[in-house]
Structure 1
Amino acid sequence: MAHGPVLTMPVVAIVAQVLLGLGLLGAGTGHLTVLRRQFQAQVPPWLPLDADLVVVASGVVEVALGLALLVVWRQPARGLVGAITAAFLVAVFPGNVAQFTEQRDAFGLDTDLARGVRLLFQPMLVAWALLATGAIPVLRRLIRR
């Protein structure tokens, strides 16, 4: 019987990590291609950077994180990828807030209610990244060093 880090993880964690990786890979690809304009609606107007540059840069990061989530399975690297993913999701949250406060339509979010509900999902994505990758115990060990 084969043994390895992936086989000893709970199936739920494996599936959750793969789904998050595929989601980020898809979103990142969308940033760089057909959804580029819509993602620009999420760039806060107060950010002193070109909206397209922000969309492209965040798309590249999402593709990289998505790929990392799909290929990195050994701790502590797996947990670090999860922590970095969670930090990225926190860093882009102002874009979701800006879409709500500026009442910008994108991705079918064309009402305040829809944009507000979308805001509730970002903390869940952060938790997903941390829990699916075992990031919290890894970070605890690093802090205790």
Structure 2
Amino acid sequence: MTNQLSKKRHAVRLTLGAFLTYAGVSHLSFGREEFQAQVPRSLPMDPDLVVILSGVTEVGLGLSLMTLLKKRVHVGWIVALFFVAVFPGNIAQLLDHRDAFGLDTDGKRVARLFFQPVLIALALWGTGAWRDRAQLRTKD
């Protein structure tokens, strides 16, 4: 087991952290209405509340990616699971034909679906979470 990350992994981890932090801030401010287009109508919650909660979560995850190097394996898995959890919102946007973020055709919305696995892979690779998953079974 190694605790070392290559410069490329650090760069991916920090970039993904910055991306998540920015996305979270946009959930809470200038992008709030657009993000509501991704909230599945079947979710029994106020879409604005969902956007606010997911924004706060993204800010926390982004900052964690950038700062919690000793917990990077845990954070990597949590971020990957977050990307899995929000995927139904991307599907809902497609199925409901809702425009947001320039995704104004079904073709663009379908193309976006293929980006979610990339984000999951980046979270696991950039933190070394997949490689060093044995750390999850050990006590700190």
Match for 1:124 among 115, 118, 130?
Answer: 118
Residue in 2 aligned with 1:108? 102
Match for 1:91 among 64, 75, 85?
Answer: 85
Q: C-alpha separation between the residues in 1 aligned to 2:50 and 2:109?
A: 20
Unaligned runs of 5+ in 1: none
3-state SS of 2:42 partner: coil
Is the 8 Å Cα contact of residues 80 and 138 (structure 1) preserved in structure 2?
no
Residue in 2 aligned with 1:37? 33
**1:63, distance to aligned residue in structure 2 (A):** 0.1
Is the 8 Å Cα contact of residues 125 and 131 (structure 2) preserved in structure 1?
no
Using CA pairs below 8 Å that are at least 6 residues apart, which structure has the higher relative contact order?
2
Is the 8 Å Cα contact of residues 25 and 65 (structure 1) preserved in structure 2?
yes
1:20 paired with 2:16, answer yes
Unaligned runs of 5+ in 2: none
Q: Which moved more, 1:128-137 or 1:114-123?
A: 128-137
- Name the count of aligned residue pairs: 137
Q: C-alpha separation between the residues in 2 aligned to 1:67 and 1:112?
A: 33
Is the 8 Å Cα contact of residues 32 and 59 (structure 1) preserved in structure 2?
yes
TM-score, with structure 2 as normaliser: 0.93
Residue in 1 aligned with 2:55? 59
Q: C-alpha separation between the residues in 1 aligned to 2:128 and 2:57?
A: 21
3-state SS of 1:136 partner: coil
